Structure 1
């Protein structure tokens, strides 16, 4: 089952990784993009906790090393929030 919002978030983070001027931030953004890509097609979707940890990492990157691509990170975060809005639980 494809989860469109998570795939969109992954695409945004790949773009951010490619466009950031910071190698460390680019590597971390790429790792997060890969995680979201895997979650978008996994047999079972992620829970709120897993997504919250990813969003926390995005927040840290956005306010630090990834500041030059903050808008793109915001777009990825918005896509994750959209997915979470339909997720049962917390």
Structure 2
């Protein structure tokens, strides 16, 4: 169930692509969504470092996405991170 949070974050990234006219931002969103789907489907789940990189990168899109979109994406990733052992 917890990996479902990563799939939800990927879906939110795909939804955000519909609200951007910038080709570079669109490409970044698609890349992050793809990474999250791969993490969700991998036999060994992602570690904190990989998840932190994605949330950092998503937050850097602040001027290109609505703050509420960013927070929803980050919230899903963080919900999954709470289930990962470590840091």
- Tell me the TM-score normalized by structure 1: 0.87
Higher mean alpha-carbon deviation, 45-54 vs 17-26, is at 17-26
> Which blocks of at least 5 consecutive residues in structure 2 are unaligned?
none
Partner of 2:40: 40
Q: TM-score, normalised by structure 2?
A: 0.90
Number of residue-to-residue matches in the alignment: 87
Partner residue, 1:88: 85
Q: CA contact under 8 A between 2:2 and 2:80: conserved in structure 1? A: no
Structure 1 runs (4+) deviating above 2 angstroms are none
CA distance in 2, matches of 1:52, 1:43: 19
Q: Which moved more, 1:33-42 or 1:16-25?
A: 16-25
Higher helix share: 1
- 1:80 Cα shift? 0.3
Q: Secondary structure at the match of 2:60?
A: helix
Matched, 1:28 2:28: yes
> Shift in Å at residue 2 of structure 1?
7.5
Once residues 68 and 22 of structure 2 are traced to their aligned partners in structure 1, the CA distance between those partners, rounded to angstroms, is: 16
1:73 matched to 2:83? The reply is: no
> Which consecutive unaligned segments of at least 5 residues does structure 1 have?
none
